[in-house]
């Protein structure tokens, strides 16, 4: 499909745009295949037009920022889920003397007053 050096840069730009769309839609499973294809295309870019390379660099940097933001969001979600799971198992309270007293679900330490 792509034959010349300019075509190779155009193919890589197209691939980077597909990668951006995959990141934005959360289709992370397709990124591994795209990474392999990017490696091949990058290896074939020796001596390419510097202007086109700057465009590639800019597009790749934007994708990197998007991936970093997606990773940050996943980590925040993991922390939140961990907090929810931890809270569902019980919590720590303090008695009159300031001593920590764990309150756990189903251990009889929780008293319901009417």
d(CA 73, CA 90): 26
Q: Are 66 and 26 in contact (CB under 8 A)?
A: no
d(CA 89, CA 26): 31
Residue 108, pLDDT > 70, answer no
Report pLDDT for 2.
46
Higher-confidence position of 105 and 38: 38
Query: Over the stretch 60-85, which tens digit does the pLDDT of each residue have?
Result: 999 999 999 999 999 999 999 999 88
Which residues have C-beta within 8 Å of that of residue 18, sequence separation ≥ 6? 34
Pick from 73, 110, 70: which is nearest to 90 by CA? 110
Q: How confident is the model at residue 4 (pLDDT cuts 50, 70, 90)?
A: low
Predicted structure pTM score: 0.68
Report pLDDT for 66.
95
Residue 3, pLDDT > 80, answer no
Instruction: Give me the long-range contacts of 38-44 (CB less than 8 A, separation at least 24).
Output: 38/12, 41/8, 41/11, 41/12, 41/15, 42/12, 44/8
Tokens 């920590």 map to which residue?
A: 100
């Amino acid at each position: 499909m792509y034959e010349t050096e300019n075509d190779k840069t155009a193919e890589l730009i197209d691939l980077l745009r597909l990668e951006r769309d995959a990141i934005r839609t959360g289709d992370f499973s397709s990124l591994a295949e795209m990474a392999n294809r990017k490696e091949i295309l990058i290896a074939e870019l020796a001596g390419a037009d510097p202007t086109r390379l700057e465009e590639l660099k800019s597009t790749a940097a934007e994708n990197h920022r998007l991936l970093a933001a997606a990773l940050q969001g996943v980590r925040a979600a993991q922390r939140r889920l961990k907090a929810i799971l931890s809270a569902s198992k019980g919590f720590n309270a303090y008695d009159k003397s300031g001593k920590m007293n764990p309150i756990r679900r189903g251990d009889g330490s929780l008293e319901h007053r009417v």
